[in-house]
């Protein structure tokens, strides 16, 4: 699902032929985690994505 959202945003027609991309980090909240821990996980994933070249989604979900 995350990849489909990213792809759809890239495919949108923007004024003046502007190219828009999106990077993101998706993390799952485990029952013992606090909200702050969830935000830290997502933030780490976002930095990992940006370092890898942007226009990507990185996820850390429970198996």
Contact predicate 18/52, CB 8 Å: no
Q: Long-range contacts of range 38-44, CB-CB < 8 Å, 24 or more positions apart?
A: none
Q: How far apart are CA 15 and CA 26, in angstroms?
A: 29
Structure pTM?
0.61
pLDDT tens digits, one per residue of 8-61: 888 899 899 898 888 888 888 777 768 888 888 888 888 888 888 888 888 876
Predicted confidence at residue 31, as pLDDT, reads 74
């Amino acid at each position: 699902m995350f990849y489909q959202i990213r792809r759809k945003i890239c495919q949108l027609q923007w004024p003046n032929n502007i190219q828009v991309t999106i990077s993101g980090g998706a993390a799952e909240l485990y029952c013992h985690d606090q909200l702050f821990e969830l935000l830290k996980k997502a933030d780490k994933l976002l930095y990992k994505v940006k370092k890898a070249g942007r226009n990507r989604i990185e996820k850390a979900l429970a198996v």
